[in-house]
């Protein structure tokens, strides 16, 4: 019979269940593949969701966590709508991406990861998203040269938005904020403390 | 007026499909009085609409004929067609059922000569062929209909067509004065055999049943293959009548899906394997069949059939639940998805797509006339609280014909036990 413990290990599945948001759903996948076929960006992924779930069960920890697959999810929810077992696939993908990021395993220069970080940093400052600053940051995400090129390309749209009052150029200085920014920061700090505590307790 | 003699020792069977017929005959042949109520104008239910049975590929007409002869020979059995149970009250050993009889407008003098159908002009979608063909306003539902009596469509009553039908009848069998009747009868036990219906394929939005004419259901395909069906047994596609040589079968269309039916419908795998043989019979080497599946359910002796079908080079099995079907410029349905064995993305054009639709209980959860234990899938579950009501066949679970007949025989025995208790108490 041989040693079955080696080729039938569910350690990584258990790790996912414990650490990934909605990870406990992974074992419910019946490998029908309707999610993969329904994903509008599916052909650009390293591994479609169905394969990711199988890889988790097969214990392919590194291959899953360093993959760019879950970073390609655009939250269109096609997969969730069609999944015959109602797996929250979109949420699992984001959960996996977050977990990989936390462990520092996310692929370097992953544009979605970069954008997510920019968005988060932007939001954390004033409790409101400063779209002008976020846009500029996004344009210059890959260097000054490309930043100017993109800015020039988008110039007309930007001016149009200003003209129709969809974008306020004054946002560059400071920008709008929550009424109680201090309180907001306190809330976020507390939340971070609780999360750190939770993670510390989780480690064996 | 229809007169039915029934007592507390009578068994009422609701539904005259293969399960109801079997239960009614088994009970009647033990000497019990049985009243069989059927909503359609004929007995046999959905089995009459099948071309062949799996796995033996024999014809259902054979077994139906035997059952029909049994009904004709049995004096203990009363058959009410075009009849519906509208209320049911009481408890085991003492039920009262109210039955509504729709008018047939044709009496027992009918010889099924067909002169009325020739005379009538109006045509309607033929429900027997799932609307794939037309029938006259005076019609015999199908060639082997039992009772072998014509029916007038209520829509022609009051029109000149009705008068034409009456005038054409040499046997004075057409009675335009027939009206809906209601009768009340007593019974000691009830066998509930209301069967199933195909799941509404239009609800499976990505497969486009409501948008593409060349996406059809498995029950419709069964009619296409039947030599007595709307195409005379030619497997052609609805949009342009072109021979459908390359056919996709999509399994679990509505079944095992929390958006549709929770349960596995149990019959669809074998039904599609069977239907794949229809395509081979029709087109031999030119046949190209793709079966898209999640898992295949063909247990016990069915596995031999599966292995035989699987061995054929013209039939391919693709382990994948397709994500969508779209039509190309020529009206060919293209099946899209990613397979599970290799994660290959495919976009495969076919002449015809057949959706292996699931079995849904024919009676909705809240439409039962009396309280019975119904499970979350909508089937009747055996329970003490059901009293003298016993489900038979597909009212109890998704079953094939063989298992329906077995299940119905079991239900007959349960009903007989109740009647025997009543009989002992009354002596």
**Which residues on chain A are in Cβ contact (under 8 Å) with B338?**
33, 36-37, 42, 48, 50
pLDDT at A14: 93
Going by the DSSP 8-state scheme, the letter that residue B38 receives in this structure is -
| Distance of alpha carbon B224 from the chain centroid | 16
Residue A49, phi then psi, degrees to nearest 5: -50, -45
Among A102, A119, A149, where does a domain finish?
Answer: A102
- In this structure, the strands spanning B345-349 and B352-357 are unpaired
Residue B86 touches chain A, beta carbons under 8 Å: no
Are A35 and A97 found together in one domain?
A: yes
CB contact under 8 A, A48 and B336: no
Structure tokens belonging to residue A110: 């992953």
Residue A66 belongs to a domain with what CATH number? 1.10.1060.10
Residues (pLDDT < 70) of chain A are 1-9, 203-204
What is the spatial distance between Cα B375 and Cα B391, in angstroms, rounded to a whole number? 12
The length of chain B is 427
- B185-237 pLDDT, tens digit per residue, is 999 999 999 999 999 999 999 999 999 999 999 999 999 999 999 999 999 99
Residue B341 touches chain A, beta carbons under 8 Å: no
Beta strands (DSSP E) in B271-321 are 288-293, 315-319
**CA of B346: which chain A residue's CA is closest?**
A37
Residue B333, H or E segment = strand B333-338
Residue B336 touches chain A, beta carbons under 8 Å: yes
The DSSP line for chain A is: ---HHHHS--HHHHHHHHHSTTGGGGGG-----HHHHH-TTGGGSSS-HHHHHHHHHTT-HHHHHT-SGGGG-----HHHHH-TT---HHHHHHHHHHHHHHTT-SPTT-HHHHHHHHHHHHHHHHSS--HHHHHHHHHGGG-HHHHHHHHHHHHHHHHHHHHTTSS-GGGGSS----TTHHHHHHHHHHHHHHHHHHHHHH--
Are A85 and A154 found together in one domain?
A: no
Band of pLDDT at residue B427, cut at 50, 70 and 90: low
Band of pLDDT at residue B291, cut at 50, 70 and 90: very high
Are A94 and A14 found together in one domain?
A: yes
pLDDT at A1: 47
Contact between residue B317 and residue B307 where contact means Cβ atoms under 8 Å apart: no
Are A88 and A8 found together in one domain?
A: yes
CB contact under 8 A, A84 and B258: yes
ipTM for the whole predicted complex goes beyond 0.85 = yes
The length of chain A is 204
Q: CA quadruple B412, B418, B424, B427: dihedral positive or negative?
A: negative
CB contact under 8 A, A84 and B345: no
Residue B258 touches chain A, beta carbons under 8 Å: yes
- B370-411 pLDDT, tens digit per residue, is 999 999 999 999 999 999 999 999 999 999 999 999 999 999
Residue B205 touches chain A, beta carbons under 8 Å: no
Are A115 and A186 found together in one domain?
A: yes
CB contact under 8 A, B345 and A85: no
> From the list B259, B295, B338, which residue is nearest A36 (CB)?
B338
Q: Region of A127 please: left (phi>0), alpha (psi -120 to 50) or beta.
A: left
pLDDT at B5: 87
Are A48 and A116 found together in one domain?
A: no
Q: Region of A139 please: left (phi>0), alpha (psi -120 to 50) or beta.
A: alpha
The upper half-sphere exposure of residue A33, i.e. CA atoms within 13 Å in the direction of its Cβ, equals: 23
CB contact under 8 A, B337 and A48: no
Q: Which of A28, A30, A31, A34 to mutate to test the interface with B (most CBs of B within 10 A)?
A: A34
CB contact under 8 A, B259 and A82: yes
CB contact under 8 A, A37 and B259: no
- B28-41 pLDDT, tens digit per residue, is 999 999 999 999 99
Q: Which of A30, A32, A46 to mutate to test the interface with B (most CBs of B within 10 A)?
A: A32
Residue B200 touches chain A, beta carbons under 8 Å: no
Percent of chain B with pLDDT over 90: 97
What is the spatial distance between Cα B386 and Cα B259, in angstroms, rounded to a whole number? 29
CB contact under 8 A, B321 and A47: no
Are A11 and A52 found together in one domain?
A: yes
What is the spatial distance between Cα B109 and Cα B113, in angstroms, rounded to a whole number? 11
Going by the DSSP 8-state scheme, the letter that residue B171 receives in this structure is T
Q: SS3 of B225, please? A: helix
Q: SS3 of B148, please? A: coil
Chain A: which residues have CB within 8 Å of chain B?
30-38, 42-43, 47-48, 50-51, 81-86
> From the list B295, B323, B338, which residue is nearest A82 (CB)?
B323
Considering only CA atoms, give the Rg of chain A. 21
What is the spatial distance between Cα B373 and Cα B420, in angstroms, rounded to a whole number? 24
**CA of B255: which chain A residue's CA is closest?**
A84
CB contact under 8 A, B320 and A43: no
Q: How many residue pairs bridge chain A and chain B with CB atoms within 8 Å of each other? A: 66
**Which residues on chain A are in Cβ contact (under 8 Å) with B295?**
30
Q: SS3 of B3, please? A: coil
**Closest CA–CA distance from residue B328 to any residue of chain A (Å):** 18
Could you give the dihedral angle defined by the CA atoms of residues B29, B32, B33 and B37, in that order, rounded to the nearest 10 degrees? -60
pLDDT at residue B23 greater than cutoff 50? yes
Band of pLDDT at residue B109, cut at 50, 70 and 90: very high
Structure tokens belonging to residue B421: 């208790």
Contact between residue B118 and residue B43 where contact means Cβ atoms under 8 Å apart: no
Contact between residue B397 and residue B359 where contact means Cβ atoms under 8 Å apart: no
Q: Which of B253, B295, B323 to mutate to test the interface with A (most CBs of A within 10 A)?
A: B323
- A168-178 pLDDT, tens digit per residue, is 888 888 888 99
For helices A131-139 and A144-163, the axis angle rounded to 10 degrees is 150
Among A102, A126, A149, where does a domain finish?
Answer: A102
Could you give the dihedral angle defined by the CA atoms of residues B283, B288, B294 and B300, in that order, rounded to the nearest 10 degrees? 40
Q: For residue B18, give the nearest of B193, B189, B149 by alpha carbon.
A: B193
What is the spatial distance between Cα A126 and Cα A177, in angstroms, rounded to a whole number? 5
Are A134 and A85 found together in one domain?
A: no
**Closest CA–CA distance from residue A89 to any residue of chain B (Å):** 15
What is the spatial distance between Cα B362 and Cα B268, in angstroms, rounded to a whole number? 17
> From the list B257, B324, B339, which residue is nearest A33 (CB)?
B339
Structure tokens belonging to residue A88: 């929250």
> From the list A31, A37, A43, which residue is nearest B323 (CB)?
A37
CB contact under 8 A, A30 and B294: yes
- B296-354 pLDDT, tens digit per residue, is 999 889 999 999 999 999 999 999 999 999 999 999 999 999 999 999 999 999 999 99
* Across B116-136, average pLDDT: 97
Kindly report the three-state secondary structure assignment for every residue of B125-143. Answer: ECHHHCCCCEEECEECCCC
Mean pLDDT of chain B: 96
**Which residues on chain B are in Cβ contact (under 8 Å) with A81?**
259
Residue B347 touches chain A, beta carbons under 8 Å: no
Are A119 and A197 found together in one domain?
A: yes
* Across B69-83, average pLDDT: 96
Among A47, A76, A102, where does a domain finish?
Answer: A102
Are A53 and A140 found together in one domain?
A: no
What is the spatial distance between Cα B299 and Cα B280, in angstroms, rounded to a whole number? 23
In angstroms, the Cα distances linking A64 to A25, A107, B7 are 16, 11, 70
List of residues 6+ apart from B357 with CB closer than 8 A: B198, B199, B201, B217, B218, B219, B253, B254, B255, B265, B268
Q: Count other C-beta atoms under 10 Å from residue B424's C-beta.
A: 8
Residue B320 touches chain A, beta carbons under 8 Å: yes
pLDDT at B210: 97
Contact between residue B232 and residue B370 where contact means Cβ atoms under 8 Å apart: no
Q: Which domain holds residue A174?
A: 111-202
**Which residues on chain A are in Cβ contact (under 8 Å) with B345?**
36-37, 42-43
CB contact under 8 A, A37 and B324: yes
Please report the domains of chain B, with CATH numbers, ordered by start residue.
Answer: 10-102+180-195+362-426 (3.50.50.60), 115-168 (no CATH), 198-358 (3.50.50.60)
> From the list B257, B338, B339, which residue is nearest A84 (CB)?
B257
What is the spatial distance between Cα B103 and Cα B162, in angstroms, rounded to a whole number? 14
**Closest CA–CA distance from residue A120 to any residue of chain B (Å):** 34
Considering only CA atoms, give the Rg of chain B. 23
Model pTM score: 0.92
**CA of B259: which chain A residue's CA is closest?**
A84
Are A95 and A8 found together in one domain?
A: yes
Residue B340 touches chain A, beta carbons under 8 Å: yes
Instruction: Tell me how many domains chain A contains.
Output: 2
What is the spatial distance between Cα B151 and Cα B165, in angstroms, rounded to a whole number? 11
pLDDT at residue B77 greater than cutoff 60? yes
Are A131 and A82 found together in one domain?
A: no
């Amino acid at each position: 019979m041989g040693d079955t413990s080696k080729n039938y290990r569910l350690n990584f599945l258990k790790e996912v269940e414990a650490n990934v948001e909605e990870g406990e759903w992974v074992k419910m996948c019946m490998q029908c593949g309707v999610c993969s076929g329904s994903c509008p960006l599916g052909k650009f992924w390293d591994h479609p969701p169905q394969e990711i779930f199988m890889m988790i069960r097969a214990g392919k920890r590194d291959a899953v966590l360093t993959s760019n697959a879950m970073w390609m999810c655009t939250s269109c929810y096609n997969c969730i709508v069609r999944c015959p077992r109602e797996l929250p696939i979109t949420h699992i993908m984001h959960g996996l991406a977050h977990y990989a990021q936390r462990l520092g395993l996310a692929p370097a220069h992953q544009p979605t990861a970069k954008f997510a970080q920019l968005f988060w940093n932007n939001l954390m400052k004033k409790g409101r998203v400063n779209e002008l600053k976020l846009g500029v940051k996004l344009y210059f995400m890959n260097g000054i040269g490309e930043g100017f090129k993109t800015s020039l390309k988008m110039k007309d749209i930007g001016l149009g938005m200003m003209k129709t009052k969809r974008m306020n150029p004054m946002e560059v200085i400071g920008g709008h904020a929550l009424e109680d920014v201090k309180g907001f920061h306190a809330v976020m700090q507390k939340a971070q403390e609780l999360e750190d505590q939770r993670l510390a307790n989780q480690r064996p | 007026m229809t007169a039915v003699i029934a007592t507390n020792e009578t068994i009422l069977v609701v539904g005259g499909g293969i399960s109801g017929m079997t239960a009614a005959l088994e009970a009647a042949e033990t000497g019990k009085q049985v009243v069989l109520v059927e909503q359609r104008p004929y007995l046999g239910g959905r089995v009459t609409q099948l071309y062949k049975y799996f796995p033996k590929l024999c014809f259902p007409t054979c077994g139906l004929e035997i059952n029909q002869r049994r009904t004709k020979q049995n004096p203990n059995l009363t058959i009410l067609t075009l009849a519906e149970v509208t209320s049911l009250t009481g408890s085991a050993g003492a039920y009262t059922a109210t039955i509504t009889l729709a008018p047939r407008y044709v009496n027992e003098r009918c010889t099924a000569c067909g002169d009325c159908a020739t005379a009538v002009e109006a045509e309607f979608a033929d429900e027997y062929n799932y609307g794939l063909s037309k029938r006259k306003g005076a019609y015999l539902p199908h060639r082997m209909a039992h009772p072998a009596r014509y029916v007038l469509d209520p829509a022609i009553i009051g029109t000149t067509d009705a008068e034409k039908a009456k005038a054409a009848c040499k046997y004075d069998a057409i009675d335009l004065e027939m009206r809906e009747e209601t009768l009340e009868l007593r019974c000691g036990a009830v066998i509930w055999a209301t069967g199933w219906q195909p799941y509404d394929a239009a609800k499976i939005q990505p497969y486009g049943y409501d948008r593409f004419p060349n996406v059809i259901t498995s029950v419709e395909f069964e009619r296409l293959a039947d030599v007595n069906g709307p195409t005379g047994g030619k497997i052609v596609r609805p949009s342009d009548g072109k021979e459908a040589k390359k056919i996709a079968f999509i399994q679990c269309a509505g079944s095992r899906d929390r958006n549709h039916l929770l349960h596995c419908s149990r019959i669809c795998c074998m039904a599609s394997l069977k239907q794949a043989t229809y395509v081979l019979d029709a087109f031999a080497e030119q046949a190209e069949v793709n079966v898209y599946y999640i898992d295949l359910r063909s247990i016990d002796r069915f596995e031999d059939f599966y292995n035989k079908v699987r061995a054929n080079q013209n039939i391919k099995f693709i382990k994948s639940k397709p994500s969508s079907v779209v039509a190309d410029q020529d009206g060919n349905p293209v099946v899209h998805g990613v397979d599970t064995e290799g994660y290959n993305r495919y976009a495969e054009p076919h002449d015809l797509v057949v959706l292996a639709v699931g079995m849904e209980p024919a009676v909705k959860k809240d439409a039962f006339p009396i309280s019975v234990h119904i499970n979350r899938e909508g089937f009747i579950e055996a329970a003490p609280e059901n009293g003298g009501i016993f489900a038979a066949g597909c009212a109890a679970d998704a079953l094939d014909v063989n298992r329906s007949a077995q299940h119905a025989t079991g239900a007959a025995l349960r009903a007989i036990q109740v009647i025997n208790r009543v009989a002992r108490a009354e002596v």
